[in-house]
Structure 1
């Protein structure tokens, strides 16, 4: 397993500077934010894509993932950093999310990254039944999964508290209906803790579908607010042990977007906690 850091904590920095800082702290990889100011796909010029490649080559970092969950560029007044959703009542708003995801999948392939992570369907709209929302989500996902397959990358859904898919069981319901080899699960450990999942059990049960992990800590209250690993209630030794027990050898990406005022400090403290837990697997 290798540890990466998400660039979504570095919204106050250029991508070039972000890559340099993450590499200097000692991470193996970087999760690229497909959003402003780093890589908003709708407005990304070829020279900017090459700049991203050059920065990654210069720092020796590898891509762990492309994060297309967040959409600060849209600045939707309902929720400025990730709306609109796949199940938005307004079809034009839904199309914004669909188009962004399609562009992010294409960008992922162009840059040689393995997959993108995206939102699990927004909260239910007024008067919308859960079944209608699930059906709409499946309808939207099928052509995106086909596009991912054509691009040779994966589309990973990330369950989140308060949204349509909160748990691994709910993810499975949708994945079974989409039935596409390019669809997978991004297992966010903090999110799973928030909704009360038995994390080791869920990791073991979902091992074949989990293609990437997000790591952050959460307070004992289970309120959804990302904390630096080691400062909340999650037992990361147990979590990493459970992941290792499945034979997973991919990326663990630390996601600490609330720490934009001191991303270096948060990244450094997280690595101090996680590196000793992951290190025994190196060379195994």
Structure 2
């Protein structure tokens, strides 16, 4: 059976150590480390040392982080991080900005490798170039350069780079992510399927899974009403066809985390959120038996 997971931003208010303690208390043994908690850990010192210390701390409580999300923003979400915080773009057009971003990504790769993360979820960038109206072939080439560089940083570490399907041009369909993978020819680059993103853009989720095949190495499991990224738990009001999704995952031999990413569920008082936390683990276990 696949390992169940809830990405750590579900308890975003908690600092990493308290987050781990709470996850362990509620029976979660594996999780995707969120961008916000990774930023917190990077403040502790050199990435490799800070990552190893966090990995040991989590292991002592029976937890591990086989999956992690690379930076979504340039800083974390604590009060001291707010000034100058902006959305991260790993594929900027300016060469000096590109070099600076690759230096940042090298630190993140070192951190993730030290924590023991096997699947690092990555947004392949290019949003600023698209906003400027750049030709999509230029955007594609810059994305390929960025992803290849990050993959080379991770080579030999056991960390795979997993490109996530998004709403931006060139990132919605599985075929578009496969085009990057086929262009750069790095064996440690795969795909993260976000079921909510796919469903909100009318992408056939089971077909996406089958097209990805062995390249599918990470999941963001979420539901929505088919228009917006509502980030709901499955089997509520959402329209993702879970009874077709689960057989497709088995068909391709997916072996990564069965990982919930559902910020639409944590807008409630903490006692209710923790009750949902327990329910989500039971829900995941039942879904894996479908």
TM-score, normalized by the shorter chain, greater than 0.5: yes
Q: How far off its partner does 1:243 sit?
A: 0.5
Higher relative contact order (CA closer than 8 Å, sequence separation 6+): 1
Deviations along 1:76-118, one digit per CA (max 9) or x if unpaired, are: 99x956x221233444443444233222211122122212111
Aligned residue in 2 for 1:28: 29
Structure 1 window deviating more from structure 2 (7-16 vs 29-38): it is 29-38
State the secondary structure of the residue aligned to 2:131: coil
- Residues 35 and 76 of structure 2 are in contact (CA less than 8 Å); yes or no, is this contact kept in structure 1? no
Q: How far off its partner does 1:74 sit?
A: 6.4
Structure 1 window deviating more from structure 2 (168-177 vs 240-249): it is 240-249
In 2, the alpha carbon distance for the partners of 1:128 and 1:155 equals 26
In 2, the alpha carbon distance for the partners of 1:137 and 1:189 equals 22
- Residues 52 and 114 of structure 2 are in contact (CA less than 8 Å); yes or no, is this contact kept in structure 1? no
In the superposition, the TM-score normalised over structure 2's length comes to 0.84
Aligned residue in 2 for 1:227: 232
In 2, the alpha carbon distance for the partners of 1:249 and 1:196 equals 25
In 2, the alpha carbon distance for the partners of 1:151 and 1:47 equals 15
> Which blocks of at least 5 consecutive residues in structure 1 are unaligned?
none
Runs of 4+ in 1 over 6 A off after TM superposition: 74-77
Q: How far off its partner does 1:129 sit?
A: 1.1
Deviations along 1:163-192, one digit per CA (max 9) or x if unpaired, are: 541211110111111111011111111112
1:5 partnered with 2:6? yes
- Residues 35 and 41 of structure 1 are in contact (CA less than 8 Å); yes or no, is this contact kept in structure 2? no
Aligned residue in 2 for 1:100: 104
- Correspondence list, 1:204-243, <5 A: 204-220=210-226, 222-231=227-236, 232-243=238-249
Q: What count of residue pairs does the alignment treat as equivalent?
A: 277
Structure 1 window deviating more from structure 2 (97-106 vs 206-215): it is 97-106
RMSD between superposed Cα atoms in Å: 2.7
